[in-house]
């Protein structure tokens, strides 16, 4: 058997770390707060990236690349922005053997350097919209880090768009939120709520921030992507004006939106189990692994048969690998491939072979299905689609089962329990999503956070009807319906 991992019921955090390290997705690095993404982890990111990029291009966006370094003075041009990011900056003070006249920071996000360039490129309404995206690394100095979920350096994409009108910019903000929602649900099998952030939680420099929020197995929320309506804030800070259709001058309207390698962590945490990683077929480096079961006297025959099945699967477009290891037992190999999260395993032994059968095993349900060898490609295709659908449905059912309507503050406190007393394992974890009315005041958010660590995750866009009644926190007149949860 492969080395065991900590069960979720004992310590969910350690279970997560065990999977990341033992499935060789990432590793700690000698650089404080930074990790190394190993090939199996990077392959998941590449598959997320490819699908996102396809959808960005489909919606008219182009990729570009802006400098890693940003003059410190640029960051200061937008007051809220610098206040939000200053504590997290890495600063370059020396270059080429000399002290720099003006220090640079490593980009924590690129609004400022991009809007400094947009000033050169935008003169008239004919130059608009600019729909640019950038795939890159960013740095935010973090005190407490967690592999994939929060690291000082991370990989992400940041979209930065410029528009003629407020309405167009708002439309773009919501369009990209929907691109995130659909990609993450369909491709990553993670159900998310799309909604508006409160002012307390919005991006430094934004007018409004929208996010998509996922629920992990310990019932905590994870912010999986954000889309910001920036108004004219950055256009004003960098003096980007354009000639309008009726010959006037106006500041440009802006959006920005981002998702990151954090999504890899969300995938792991949402789907995996005590045997290891569980991956949606859409993201797995291999969709199918074939494990031959053999002894010395039948090895050649079993492998010949396995090779034939591999060929048939490849021809049908499947990503498939054949385990040729002859050092370990079948049981060890089964456990190892379960640890790595391959969605479908094919077991092939001499008795199956003689009967013209193989055994297929689903990673998500452990169900074993005996299939005629000739029907493997068709059955694999059917089962992979079923796994993809099941992972989303299962995660959605879990989230819904852990969402409660809460009417008052006593209910909130009972639902979350006090701050600092969270269980390590998921079995005894309290909380989840508290769906509740809210008056809109920052004080209510602060009070709940202090007492329970729960924060306002978002005000779901599709759940703002019939907001009548009183705030679940202070009892004043409610203005919104919000989701409260502890979060990563």
| Residues in 136-195 at the binding interface with a second copy, rule: CB under 8 A | 136-137, 139, 141-143, 152-153, 155
Closest separation in Å from C-beta 142 to a second copy:
8
Binding window for a second copy (CB under 8 A); candidates: 25-33, 265-273, 409-417, 437-445: 25-33
Binding window for a second copy (CB under 8 A); candidates: 85-93, 159-167, 400-408, 409-417: 85-93
Closest separation in Å from C-beta 31 to a second copy:
4
Task: Please say which residue, 322 or 353, places its beta carbon nearer to a second copy.
Answer: 322
Closest separation in Å from C-beta 96 to a second copy:
3
Tell me how far CA of residue 403 lies from CA of 220, 221, 273, 431, 482, in angstroms. Answer: 11, 11, 21, 9, 12
Task: Please say which residue, 62 or 166, places its beta carbon nearer to a second copy.
Answer: 62
H helix intervals, 257-404: 262-271, 299-315, 330-340, 350-355, 376-401
Task: Please say which residue, 166 or 326, places its beta carbon nearer to a second copy.
Answer: 326
Check if the beta carbon of residue 406 is closer than 8 Å to that of residue 472.
yes
* Cα 473 → chain centroid: 30
Question: If you compute the radius of gyration of the chain from its CA atoms, what whole number of angstroms results?
Answer: 25
The span from the CA of 20 to the CA of 147, in Å, is 8
* Cα 282 → chain centroid: 15
Tell me: does residue 355 bind a second copy (CB under 8 A): no
- Which of 35, 184, 306, 485: binder of a second copy (CB under 8 A)? 35
| Nearest CA-CA partner of 269 in 452, 462, 429, 30 | 429
**Collapsing DSSP states into helix, strand and coil, what is residue 383?**
helix
- The CA dihedral of 187, 188, 191, 194, to the nearest 10 degrees, is -80
Closest separation in Å from C-beta 74 to a second copy:
7
| Residues in 55-84 at the binding interface with a second copy, rule: CB under 8 A | 62-71, 74
- Which of 13, 29, 316, 370: binder of a second copy (CB under 8 A)? 29
- The CA dihedral of 371, 342, 191, 63, to the nearest 10 degrees, is -120
- Structure-token match 């990236």, residue found: 49
Closest separation in Å from C-beta 80 to a second copy:
18
Query: Could you tell me how many residues of this chain bind a second copy (CB under 8 A)?
Result: 55
Tell me: does residue 96 bind a second copy (CB under 8 A): yes
In the complex, the residues that contact a second copy under the rule CB under 8 A are 27, 29-32, 34-39, 42-43, 45-46, 62-71, 74, 86-97, 104, 106, 113, 116-117, 120-121, 132, 136-137, 139, 141-143, 152-153, 155
């Amino acid at each position: 058997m492969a080395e065991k991992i900590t069960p979720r019921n004992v310590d969910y955090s350690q279970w997560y770390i065990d999977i990341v390290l033992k499935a060789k997705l990432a590793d700690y690095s000698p650089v404080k707060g930074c990790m190394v993404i190993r090939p199996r982890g990077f392959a998941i990111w590449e598959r997320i990236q490819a699908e996102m990029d396809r959808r960005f291009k489909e919606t008219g966006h182009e990729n570009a690349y802006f400098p890693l370094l940003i003059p410190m003075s640029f960051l200061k041009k937008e007051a809220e922005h610098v206040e939000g990011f200053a504590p997290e900056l890495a600063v370059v003070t020396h270059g080429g053997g000399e002290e720099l006249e003006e220090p640079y920071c490593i980009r924590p996000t690129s609004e400022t350097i991009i809007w400094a360039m947009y000033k050169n490129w935008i003169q008239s309404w004919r130059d608009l919209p600019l729909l640019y995206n950038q795939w890159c690394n960013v740095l935010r100095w973090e005190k407490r880090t967690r592999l994939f979920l929060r690291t000082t350096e991370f990989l992400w994409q940041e979209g930065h768009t410029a528009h003629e009108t407020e309405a167009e910019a708002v439309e773009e903000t919501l369009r990209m939120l929907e691109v995130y929602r659909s990609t993450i649900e369909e491709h990553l099998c993670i159900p998310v709520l799309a909604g508006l952030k409160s002012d307390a939680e919005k991006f430094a420099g934004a007018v409004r921030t929208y996010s998509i929020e996922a629920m992990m197995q310990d019932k905590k929320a994870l912010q999986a992507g954000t889309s910001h309506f920036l108004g004219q804030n950055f256009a004003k800070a960098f003096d980007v004006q354009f000639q309008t259709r009726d010959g006037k001058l106006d500041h440009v309207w802006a959006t920005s939106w981002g998702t990151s390698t954090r999504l890899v962590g969300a995938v792991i945490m949402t789907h995996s189990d005590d045997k290891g990683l569980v991956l949606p077929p859409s993201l797995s480096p291999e969709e199918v692994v074939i494990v031959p079961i053999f002894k010395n006297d039948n090895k050649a025959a079993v492998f010949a048969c396995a090779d034939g099945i591999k060929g048939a699967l490849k021809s049908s477009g499947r990503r498939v690998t054949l385990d040729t290891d002859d050092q370990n037992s079948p049981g060890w190999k089964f456990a190892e491939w379960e640890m790595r999260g391959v969605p479908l395993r094919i077991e092939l032994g001499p008795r199956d072979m003689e009967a013209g059968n193989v055994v297929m095993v689903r990673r998500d349900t452990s169900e074993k299905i005996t299939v005629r060898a000739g029907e493997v490609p068709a059955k694999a295709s059917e089962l992979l689609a079923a796994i993809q659908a099941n992972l989303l449905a299962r995660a959605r059912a879990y989230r819904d089962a852990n969402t409660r309507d809460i009417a008052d503050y006593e209910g909130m406190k009972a639902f979350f329990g006090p701050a600092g007393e969270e269980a390590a394992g998921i079995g005894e974890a309290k909380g989840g999503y508290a769906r509740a009315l809210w008056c809109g005041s920052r004080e209510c958010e602060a009070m709940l956070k202090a007492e329970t660590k729960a924060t306002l995750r978002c005000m779901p866009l599709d759940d703002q009807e019939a907001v009548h009644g009183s705030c679940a926190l202070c009892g004043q007149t409610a203005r919104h319906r919000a989701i409260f949860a502890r979060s990563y």
